[in-house]
Each structure stands twice: as structure tokens, then as C-alpha cells.
Amino acid sequence: MGLTLQEALKEASRQLAAAGLPRPRLEAEVLLAWAGRYSRPQLLARLEEELEPAAAARFWPAVERRVAGYPLQYLTGSQEFMSLEFKVTPAVLIPRQDTEVVVEAVLKRFDVRGNHVIADCCTGSGAIGLSLAYYLPNAKVYATDISPAALEVARQNARALGLAGRVTFLQGDFLAPLKGLKLDALVANPPYIPAAELDGLPPEVRAEPRLALDGGPDGLRAYRVLLPGAPEVLKAGGLLALEIGYNQGRAVLNLAAAAGAYRDMAVLPDYGGRDRCFLAYRREE
């Protein structure tokens, strides 16, 4: 007789804990639910049942890869963000809870009924732009990325969320695909990790696309493009909302001030109190 689901969870939890992962039981449950094609509540209601061979063939290799540091979200192919489910693959950055601060800042400043025109640069999985489209049901969203593979994941997420009719996907670097538009808001989570720090990141972060992480020598390369360039595509009074690194608030404020095109500049903290979101409005003419 094979292992029960309960016994499989116990063994997987042991292996994940031995690897130093902080939530071994939770991750074991997520992986076993994925492997068995259950919801987690369904899994927890069936713990005395035997682990089926097909589920075992998916589960134990996934546990082995997770022990080696491969991201949980790439194994299961999904990540929750803003209470929405997003497909993720190794072609895109895994959405983080701290990035929700950027989305919430925009939602707080916009009328939910408004016909807003919004662009999301470096869209990746589409997490920011699609969340804004979902919670602002009259908004038109443009989502850009330099990576065709990332844009395909974002398109799939748009279809799954029923948003494909209100989101336009454009391939290109930063603001280039947005030339000629006039936006109510521009949002972005650009690469912002200094290049010299990339090789020292945890293995699961190093598994994410380098293109989405590498912010150049000082981590500020993207902001040197976005801050001077955003006024060309923002309406007067338009909102700029950028995710930034935990220690980049002052540097980004300085770059924005040097651009001379913004008012009401601010840095908002994430849930841990660290720099996370730069906000500003384009000055009226």
C-alpha cells in the first residue's frame, strides 16, 4: 500500500523544512494540491486517501525542485495578486505582495467609474495593469514589455480575467510603444536591482528573468528613462506611479526633481515600512 496524502504531506514538509524554507507545511499542501489537481480545502478533506500514482509522479519531482530553490510559483504556474489569480512562467517576474502598494495607490486616486487611460510599462505577467483594468471597469489599459514571451503570458492572463477587450499589448522598450498617447496614469515595476547584486540573490530570485531584475550599475537605469520621458505621454495632471527598490526613494525623488516636470512627489512605504512606490503628477502647462 502506498502513502496516504497525510503521510506524503508529512514527508514533503520534512524535506522542505530541512532545506530551510520558512513555510514547509503550507508549501507542501500547495504542491500536493497542484499535483493532485485538488483545491487546498479538497486536499485537507481527503488526507486519509492514498496518494495516486499520477499525483505522486508530479508531486515528488516538484518537491525535489523546490528543495533545490526553484520558485514555488513556477512549479504550480500561478500566483495570487490583488485577490486575482495570475499565470506565471519563467518568462515573467513573480508578482509580489509589496507591489500591491502601487496598484492600491492608483486605485485610491482614481474614480472607479472614470474612463481612465492607463499604461503599464514592463508589464510582465500583467499583474499591475490587469489589476487596474479589473478594479477600474471603464478603464482602457495599454501594457508594454520588451519580451514577447512575457507579453504572451500577460495576454493569457487578460483572457482568463475577461479583460482582453480593454487591454492592448505592445512590444517595445519602456515608453517607446506609447508614443502619441496621452495617459491619465503611467505605472511601472521596472528592473531596479543593481547589476552587481544579482549573483548574490537567493536561488529562487535568480530563477526569475534577469531582464526583469537588472537595473544597471546602480539600479536606477530604468528611472533615468521613465522620469524624463513620462511627461511626453502623460496628460497634464496625469499620475506617475513607479515601484522602486527599498533604498531608492531619495535617489528617485532627486531624478524626478531634475526632470522638472512633476508636482506632489512622494515615496510610499510597503507593508514592511520600506520605500516601495514613487508617486507624482505631471505639472499642468
Please check if 231 is assigned to a binding site: no
Please check if 98 is assigned to a binding site: no
Please check if 145 is assigned to a binding site: yes
CB within 8 Å of 245: residues ≥ 6 apart: 192, 193, 215, 219, 275
Residue numbers belonging to the annotated binding site for S-adenosyl-L-methionine: 145, 174, 189
Which residue positions form the known binding site?
145, 174, 189-192
Residues of the binding site for substrate: 189-192
